[in-house]
Structure 1
Amino acid sequence: MLILKGESRFMDTRDFVWTPRHVGALAVLCLAQVLDSVDVTVVNVALPAIQDDLGFSAADLSWVMNAYMVVFGGFLLLGGRLGDSYGHRRVLLGGITLFTVASLAAGLAQNASSLVAARAAQGLGAALIAPMTLALIALIFPEGRPRNRAFAIWGAATGASSTLGLFAGGLLADGPGWRWIFFINVPIGVLLLIAARQPYAAERITRARRGFDLVGAAVSTAGVSLLAYAVLQTAAHPWASPHTIGLLAAAAALLVYFVVHEARIAKEPLVPLRLFGNRSVAGANLIQALRGGAMFAVFYFATLFLQEVLGYSALQTGLAYVPLTLLLVGAAGLGPMLVRRFGTRLVITFGSLITAGGLLLFTGISPDGALWPQVMLPLLVTGFGFGLVVVPLTAAALAGVPPSSSGVASSLLNVSAQLGGALGLAVLSTTATGRTADALKAGAAPAEALTDGFRLGFAVAAALMAVVVAIALAALTNRKESPA
């Protein structure tokens, strides 16, 4: 139940007491986030079956993923501001409804174009859901220990959903068939719609804010969508091609105008630029973007290495990620305790250093290596580092943000993760592919050439995490929650 009447983020932390209502509300928000996040990875291992059934060409198959990612990334800012303007619960319910209907349409798709359209609609629903889950947690739970604990549970669910998607995708694709990857969302969506219908009192704070920046919404959505599209199609059109350069230039022009519009023209800005005057918010979003690129690289390169080099099946690959899921959950739960002792900046720095170490361990993979220790050990080290950072980074991104901007601040963190992940993965995959091509030209065996490319990709990802450490030390304050 998404209730808790009479409570707000201004409650004194010392007066806060967890009740079954808080547990129920948090469970709804975490399940909504899992429904949202799992679809980023669940389709990966089912792509060959989808291609066979619906007749996708090799060039068009990537749009089963890209249609979701482009729309998801492009509409996140709009989704966040809609919640701030018209009520977070209303927008959450609308997003769940759209996502559920689109999932049914995807499962029933009879051709390639209808599946791509349904995936785009799923992405739009996800863009409405994702910022609302964080915004409602920030409104329900007061800043400090209660909110950090809620963020820890939310972060564990979010981290687990990525690996859960790989496992579930392999299980369903090898079992009842790929269509059930989408059908399974329907009963979950209906359950969420029933559970989330109770009103939340904090909506009284946001409903008074009716102004809406239509121009800013249109320009930001077009700019971010175009940027995501330009990045995701670099496999077909290289970075230096006129096609990609033209798209990137158009996206940059739209986003530059968006900043000017928000700063000087809009009466009710879609994104209040004063948010970036908060060093914590600005630093957290930059860190999130770089972490997103490194995290996407882990799943992408490790999955390809397991399947294309070591010969694992889709289901075996999914099972290999189960220990990572458990470790992410445990590390996310440990995060709040470390924050109370050491502060957000130090925990983010420590977790990022561990992540960088895990990525460096990945550079030791070889074609004749074993699952342990060449894959599982670095995977677990990397996952532990990622999990530690979830709570302090989320808290930093929302620290000091007023209720009227909690939705857009939450959406900014999601935009940073998605665009950073897409851009980072495009750069890293291009780098790895280039190294593989060079190795093949030099006469290396295909497995060795692929592995050589993956090793370079992991090394560059480790360098991204080194930059994260520097940003954390320079931009973040070492916030500790007050005792409760």
Structure 2
Amino acid sequence: MGLSVRVVLVEFGDGRWLVAAEVVGGVERVARGRVKALVVLCVMQLMIILDGTVVTVALPTIQGDLGFSQAGLAWVMNSYLIAFAGLLLLAGRIGDLVGSKRVFLAGLGLFTAASLLCGVAGDAEVLIAGRFLQGVGGALASAVVLGMIVNLYPAPGEQARAMGVYSFTSASGASIGLILGGVITQTIGWHWAFLINVPIGLAALAAALRFLNAQNGLGIGKGADVLGAALVTAGLSLGVYTIVQTAEPQATLWRTLALAAASAILLAAFVLRQARIKNPLLSLHIFRKRRLTVANVVVVLLFAAGFGFQFTTALYVQRVLGYDSLTTGLAFLPAPIMNALMSLSIAPKLTVRFGPRKMLIIGLAAFLVALLWISQAPVDGSYVVNVAPVLAVMGAGIGLAIPAAIMIAMSGADAKDAGLASGLNNTAQQAGAAIGTAVLATLAASTTTSRLAHGASDVLALRDGYGVAWLTAAAFVLAALTLATVTGRE
């Protein structure tokens, strides 16, 4: 930089290039600052994703140490999921009102403190309480991340690359978590599945204070709808509970229908209130934006298929092919590798050239092929033939589809609604993940039970159950592909 300045002075002698050099230096500093900010945002997202899958692998050990019943053990996951999914929409709007940096810092701090509480938990009640608080903190931080990324990178090309990094963090974090979960649980104990978040969270907090720019919110008076907040949070939380409770022994059809009806009534009351008050928590005009609405429906279907696929495939590898937890995690490596290749390198370039809609269609088509492929996996399946290539194709498809869907959804929102659109998209992701896991797990279990009743062997009954689940996931992806193809044209 110093040599450039001297050459400029010698050449022109009037300082014009000196000013240009200083401007370039400033641009470079801004670019480096944005990269650091992006890293902070993605680290938080990675912590949230990793925490879920690391804990999943550690559940059997947690059950033995803390004396959970089988039904009670599910609440290690459910308490987090209910808080997280129920608060995302509200958290996104709070970010619009008081400033996204404040909400992000509050969420990151609470998530880190709750992780410490989980890590030192000596009984089941404390662990479940800590998981609930983790969900609250995760919702606060995660709800504003997408809006902050869009503000950091408004240009299409840069935004495509940034969304590629974000989607890689989200999609591959789950697979990486399976590996870490096996290593941590088998070497240093399940407590460290939570305690590992503490030093990472503290470092992220320090970096966030330094590198994230403060943004002025609209002000609480622009949307402080307390009753609306209570209605939507209760409705969403009850809706998620309705889904996850279907796996409990006391779940019946009528109980599930009653809970679903109550959730629907709460959400309907919320919508009616938003249509009538002056400063709504959720401005319903956002749903008039076709691109945003269609993209969020696609996200629900995509995440339902993706998380359900991962859950059932991990069970197939363990219970049918006979892998242990650590080997199962390692078996998933093709997915994050291909996802990284696509979302970090290839997808941003293709998105700039062809647009996010075409990338979304191609990614969904690849994921559909992967699901149809694995649905034919036999009882004595081969990892090389029936699992590894499926995970590679799935990873590539997800690496194209997720950043494209997010870009389409966020591009449909105005700057003043960025936090709301971010929270809405995150809610769509979590709702899809909850629905997909619950539906596919229930279908797999009921099919397996039916096949056992008709005399099938244990392994064959399990394989048939997973086969039905994979075909259902394929139906989700086909529906998303149809929506992306016939609507939302650019």
TM-score, length-normalised on structure 1?
A: 0.92
Deviations 1:86-120 (A, max 9, x none): 11111111001100110000011111111011000
Q: Higher helix proportion, which one?
A: 2
- Cα 1:58–1:208, aligned 2, differ >3 Å: closer, same or farther? closer
1:289 alignment partner AA: V
Counterpart check, 1:366 vs 2:340? no
Match of 2:290 in 1: 279
Match of 1:10 in 2: none
Q: C-alpha separation between the residues in 2 aligned to 1:351 and 1:16?
A: 34
Task: Using the TM superposition, give the Cα deviation of residue 424 of structure 1 relative to its aligned residue in structure 2, in angstroms.
Answer: 2.3
Counterpart check, 1:153 vs 2:165? yes
User: Which of 208, 218, 224 is residue 196 of structure 1 equivalent to?
Assistant: 208
1:335 alignment partner AA: A
- The runs of at least 4 aligned residues of structure 1 exceeding 6 Å deviation read 15-18
- Cα 1:337–1:36, aligned 2, differ >3 Å: closer, same or farther? same
- Name the SS of the counterpart of 1:365 in structure 2: coil
User: Which of 102, 114, 122 is residue 102 of structure 1 equivalent to?
Assistant: 114
- Cα 1:336–1:88, aligned 2, differ >3 Å: closer, same or farther? same
Task: Using the TM superposition, give the Cα deviation of residue 243 of structure 1 relative to its aligned residue in structure 2, in angstroms.
Answer: 1.5
Contact 1:237-1:243 within 8 A present in 2 as well = no
Task: Using the TM superposition, give the Cα deviation of residue 237 of structure 1 relative to its aligned residue in structure 2, in angstroms.
Answer: 5.5
2:360 alignment partner AA: I
Task: Using the TM superposition, give the Cα deviation of residue 290 of structure 1 relative to its aligned residue in structure 2, in angstroms.
Answer: 0.4
Contact 1:86-1:209 within 8 A present in 2 as well = no
Match of 2:463 in 1: 451
Task: Using the TM superposition, give the Cα deviation of residue 477 of structure 1 relative to its aligned residue in structure 2, in angstroms.
Answer: 2.4
Counterpart check, 1:245 vs 2:257? yes
Match of 1:306 in 2: 317
Task: Using the TM superposition, give the Cα deviation of residue 267 of structure 1 relative to its aligned residue in structure 2, in angstroms.
Answer: 2.1
Match of 1:464 in 2: 476
Counterpart check, 1:322 vs 2:333? yes
Contact 1:77-1:412 within 8 A present in 2 as well = yes
Deviations 1:180-221 (A, max 9, x none): 000000000000110011375561354586531111111000
Identify the range of structure 1 (202-211 vs 380-389) with the bigger mean alpha-carbon deviation.
Answer: 202-211
Match of 1:349 in 2: 361
2:326 alignment partner AA: L
Match of 2:23 in 1: none
1:133 alignment partner AA: V
- Name the SS of the counterpart of 1:368 in structure 2: coil
For structure 2, which runs of at least 5 residues remain unmatched after alignment? 1-25
Aligned length: 463
Deviations 1:420-473 (A, max 9, x none): 221122222222222111211111110110001101110111111111111112
Match of 2:20 in 1: none
For structure 1, which runs of at least 5 residues remain unmatched after alignment? 1-14, 479-484
User: Which of 31, 43, 51 is residue 39 of structure 1 equivalent to?
Assistant: 51
Deviations 1:333-353 (A, max 9, x none): 222222222222221111101
Contact 1:36-1:129 within 8 A present in 2 as well = no
- Structure with max Cα Rg: 2
- Name the SS of the counterpart of 2:248 in structure 1: coil
2:240 alignment partner AA: A
- Name the SS of the counterpart of 1:375 in structure 2: helix
Task: Using the TM superposition, give the Cα deviation of residue 226 of structure 1 relative to its aligned residue in structure 2, in angstroms.
Answer: 0.2
Deviations 1:244-303 (A, max 9, x none): 111111001001111111112x32222111111111100110000001110111111111
Match of 2:62 in 1: 50
Counterpart check, 1:398 vs 2:410? yes
- Cα 1:285–1:237, aligned 2, differ >3 Å: closer, same or farther? farther
- Cα 1:200–1:304, aligned 2, differ >3 Å: closer, same or farther? closer
Match of 1:417 in 2: 429
Counterpart check, 1:380 vs 2:392? yes
Deviations 1:136-161 (A, max 9, x none): 11111114111111111111111121
Q: C-alpha separation between the residues in 2 aligned to 1:210 and 1:201?
A: 22
Identify the range of structure 1 (235-244 vs 113-122) with the bigger mean alpha-carbon deviation.
Answer: 235-244
Match of 1:269 in 2: 280
Match of 1:126 in 2: 138
Counterpart check, 1:428 vs 2:459? no
Q: C-alpha separation between the residues in 2 aligned to 1:208 and 1:304?
A: 47
Paired residues for 1:20-35 under 5 Å? 20-35=32-47
Deviations 1:312-370 (A, max 9, x none): 11111111122211111111122222222222222111110110000001112122122
Match of 1:440 in 2: 452
Paired residues for 1:177-192 under 5 Å? 177-192=189-204
Task: Using the TM superposition, give the Cα deviation of residue 398 of structure 1 relative to its aligned residue in structure 2, in angstroms.
Answer: 0.8
Q: C-alpha separation between the residues in 2 aligned to 1:239 and 1:377?
A: 38
Q: C-alpha separation between the residues in 1 aligned to 2:99 and 2:480?
A: 34
1:390 alignment partner AA: I
